[in-house]
Amino acid sequence: MTNARVTVHTEAGIDRIAPEMHGHFSEHLGRCIYDGIWHSDEDKEVGFREDVVSLLADLEMPVLRWPGGCFADDYHWEDGIGPREERPRRRNLFWAQDTHEVPEESNAFGTDEFLELCEHIGTEPYLAVNVGSGDPQEAADWVEYCNYDGETELANRRRENGREDPYGVRYWGLGNENWGCGGQMTPEQYAREYRRFATYVGSMDNLMLDHDLELIACGFENHKWNRRFMEEVGSTGWGVEFPLDHLTLHHYYGRTMSVAEADEDQYDRFLAEALEIDDHIERISAAIDAVATTRDIGVIIDEWGAWHPESVPENGLEQPGTVLDALSAAAVLDVFNHHSDVMTMSNIAQTVNVLQCLVETDGDDAWARPTYRVFDLYAPHKDNEAVQTSVDTPVRKLDDDGELPLVGASASINDDEIYVTLTNLDCRESHTIDVTLEGTTPDTENVDAKVLFANRDVDTEVDTDNADEFEAENLEIAIDDGILTVELASSTVAGIAIR
């Protein structure tokens, strides 16, 4: 097989990789919150699951989105504050929850619990407000409860509930998938709702709050919809100065690829589908730029990841965690690095037990899935300057006319090192990759390399007994005349640090 060649253009900076690009998402769905982050109603213990919290803290996640998802537009935040025994039990319109698979919400885990978790694990909260079935007053009240430092009834309620200082929540999402589960709105309708909500949530900025708020609107994988939303939202007297800091979309892939039954051709199509995120980022950016030519609006992908047919509402969207899914996450994180000039955040779905979770629990056990290892390996990119890479890779033609580039890469730099990540997305064969770093002639003394998943089958399911076998291992690198050469086994991911 011909070598793949990667050239890192160390002087061709793209932009800073916002640490928030490695963000996460947790919803009141299945066993994500109850039996995931918080003990199940059935457990004798009440409160956080320390085993999960400790795994999440080690991950140094920069931002966590909550409480949904579709649940966000069905959630009334005041149900989830105050003494736990007085909180109302409600229907969860979208999802069965906890281990009982009953679509009900106990409200045991609410705003103060979520924000305490975020502080404890050192992550920024991102709250999604209820636009679909809520109103702007409720949303503005939530901001006041969380962030206001004065003597109002809501600020004092927060104090009575045990929290003296404002939390300073910066990220506020106005709704979730409002083109679908969040109210089935047309772009024009959502733009009107967005303007109403943003007026009351966002106009408090700088007047009564100590912290700047960043307001986030929901977009769609239908880019005509995004364009119409952008045109409408800025069509009043406020024009493009309207409070809108980020526009999001969601990208799930693998809906037709059963983990249990798939073959190698389907793995190829699955990975190619993951890489379609590249096109979506370009198209949503184009929709923003076409309308908001004089200001920066960031692109957020606030739900993404593998969603296989195994995940159904009846099982709380649970599916096996495999190396294949982890490989797709590496490929997507490389794409995000290439778009660091427009992207401001991403949130993989979901943190614990649901969809492409990073942490899984079973009874008293909690463990890291292979995707967790990918986030660890990619962590050195956070806060670096992304630089251009050229990848000359073999490409596999797929039977649906698509194609899969078999080798991928991205690179970033800081004052002390260059960090390069490489993927071999080929589930059949290994590839030899030559890496040239423009302007640098590394030698073995100043290069460290790690690899994930060498000698692991791509479809191995990970559980508490084998989870440790997926940790990163040292990778051998040959260096000749400043060119690094690595042999990457099939379905592996490498991280190379050059000091």
Where along the sequence are the contacts to ligand AHR (CB under 6 A)?
Answer: 27, 68-70, 176-177, 250, 303, 349-350, 355
d(CA 430, CA 425): 9
Range list of H helices, 262-319: 264-275, 277-291
* Selection from 327, 357, 300, 282 nearest residue 452 by Cα: 327
Q: Which amino acid is at 414?
A: N
Are the CB atoms for 468 and 38 separated by under 8 Å? no
Residue 340, Cα to own-chain centre: how many angstroms? 14
Q: How far is the CB of 139 from ligand AHR (least distance, A)?
A: 18
d(CA 169, CA 38): 21
Q: Which is nearer to ligand AHR, 144 or 318 (CB)?
A: 318
Q: Which is nearer to ligand AHR, 248 or 361 (CB)?
A: 248
Active-site residue, from 27, 105, 138, 177? 177
Q: Which is nearer to ligand AHR, 106 or 176 (CB)?
A: 176
Q: What are 445's two structure tokens? A: 């003394």
d(CA 335, CA 277): 8
Are the CB atoms for 313 and 261 separated by under 8 Å? no
Are the CB atoms for 474 and 466 separated by under 8 Å? no
Go through 324-355 and write b for each residue having 16 or more CB atoms within 10 A of its CB, e for each that does not.
bbbbbbbbbbbbbbbbbebbbbbbbbbbbbbb
Q: What is the three-class DSSP state of 73?
A: helix
Q: How far is the CB of 375 from ligand AHR (least distance, A)?
A: 18
CA atoms within 13 A on the CB side of 125: 25
Are the CB atoms for 218 and 175 separated by under 8 Å? yes
Active-site residue, from 105, 273, 303, 360? 303
Q: How far is the CB of 177 from ligand AHR (least distance, A)?
A: 5
CA atoms within 13 A on the CB side of 441: 3
Q: Which is nearer to ligand AHR, 346 or 423 (CB)?
A: 346
Judge whether 461 counts as a catalytic residue. no
Q: Which is nearer to ligand AHR, 345 or 451 (CB)?
A: 345
Q: How far is the CB of 431 from ligand AHR (least distance, A)?
A: 33
Q: Which is nearer to ligand AHR, 14 or 332 (CB)?
A: 332
Q: How far is the CB of 107 from ligand AHR (least distance, A)?
A: 18
Q: What is the three-class DSSP state of 47?
A: coil
Q: How far is the CB of 350 from ligand AHR (least distance, A)?
A: 6
Q: What is the three-class DSSP state of 262?
A: coil
Q: How far is the CB of 69 from ligand AHR (least distance, A)?
A: 3
d(CA 169, CA 147): 6
Judge whether 45 counts as a catalytic residue. no
Q: Which is nearer to ligand AHR, 27 or 193 (CB)?
A: 27
Q: How far is the CB of 458 from ligand AHR (least distance, A)?
A: 24
d(CA 453, CA 448): 17
d(CA 180, CA 178): 5
Q: Which is nearer to ligand AHR, 105 or 144 (CB)?
A: 105
Q: How far is the CB of 307 from ligand AHR (least distance, A)?
A: 8
Q: What are 172's two structure tokens? A: 């506020």
Cα distances from 201 to residues 126, 167, 191, 318, in angstroms, run 14, 16, 15, 35
Are the CB atoms for 248 and 300 separated by under 8 Å? yes
Are the CB atoms for 432 and 2 separated by under 8 Å? no
d(CA 129, CA 122): 22
Q: How far is the CB of 270 from ligand AHR (least distance, A)?
A: 18
Omega of the bond prior to 321 within 30 degrees of 0, cis? Answer: no
CA atoms within 13 A on the CB side of 222: 10
Residue 229, Cα to own-chain centre: how many angstroms? 23
**Residue positions annotated with a catalytic role:** 177, 303
